[in-house]
């Protein structure tokens, strides 16, 4: 009951033009909670257009569209985000997921490979690690485990202080049923962690 009265109160404030940014965010949360997703989508559309400096709004809008099976709408929102910021990792992740879900895994791979190349040449940039890990995950999901493993080896070599490529490789080997090699990688990870704490 309190939920509903809060929702009504926030909608009245919005209609009268008195709603703050926090009020609008709370209203969106409540609309999603009571399954009035189309209203939440409409409000988010307005807010995302009014506040392009807040990419998180468009990301939530994309997730909401995907949740309502509007994959093309979700992809449109994600592409708008990537036009603003080509290095937005959350947008890349969501775009890859949308492409995998619609049977376009090869397109996801080629786009992530291009992004990884841009982040690696002429000079290796920190975001290359995140993009590489995402690409390895997509390769694995597309049944290209060997290529995923090779990529993780390259990432571990390029980013020796970061344990994530080794952990990802251990998980990949475990999924494949190669428990002996997975154990080896887990041991390597533990020794790396011990060394990093000792330094």
Could you read off the pLDDT of 133-165 as tens digits, one per residue? 999 999 999 999 999 999 999 999 999 999 999
The closest alpha carbon to 82, from 104, 98, 103, belongs to: 98
CA R_g for the chain = 21
* pLDDT at residue 196, rounded to an integer: 43
pLDDT one-digit tens code per residue, 56-108? 889 999 999 999 999 999 999 999 999 998 889 999 999 999 999 999 999 99
* pLDDT at residue 198, rounded to an integer: 42
* pLDDT at residue 1, rounded to an integer: 52
* pLDDT at residue 69, rounded to an integer: 92
The closest alpha carbon to 164, from 194, 184, 141, 193, belongs to: 193
Mark 118-131 as b/e (b = at least 16 C-beta within 10 Å). ebbeeeeeebbbbb
The closest alpha carbon to 40, from 25, 22, 18, belongs to: 25
Which pLDDT band, with edges at 50, 70 and 90, does 199 fall under? very low
Rounded Cα distance between 2 and 34, Å, is: 13
pLDDT one-digit tens code per residue, 169-184? 888 888 877 555 555 6
The pTM score is: 0.80
């Amino acid at each position: 009951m309190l939920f509903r009265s809060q929702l009504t109160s926030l909608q009245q404030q919005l209609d009268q033009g008195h709603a703050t940014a926090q009020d609008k965010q709370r209203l969106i949360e409540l609309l999603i909670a009571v399954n009035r997703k189309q209203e939440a989508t409409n409000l988010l559309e307005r807010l995302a257009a009014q506040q392009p400096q807040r990419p998180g709004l468009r990301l939530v809008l994309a997730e909401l569209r995907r949740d309502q099976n509007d994959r093309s709408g979700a992809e449109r929102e994600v592409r708008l985000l990537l036009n603003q910021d080509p290095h937005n990792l959350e947008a890349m992740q969501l775009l890859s997921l949308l492409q995998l879900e619609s049977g376009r895994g090869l397109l996801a791979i080629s786009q992530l490979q291009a992004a990884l190349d841009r982040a690696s040449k002429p000079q290796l940039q920190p975001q290359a690690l995140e993009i590489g890990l995402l690409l390895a995950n997509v390769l694995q999901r597309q049944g290209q485990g060997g290529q995923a493993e090779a990529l993780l080896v390259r990432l571990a070599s390029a980013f020796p202080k970061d344990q994530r490529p080794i952990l990802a490789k251990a998980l990949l080997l475990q999924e494949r049923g190669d428990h002996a090699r997975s154990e080896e990688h887990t041991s390597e990870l533990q020794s790396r962690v011990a060394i990093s704490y000792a330094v």
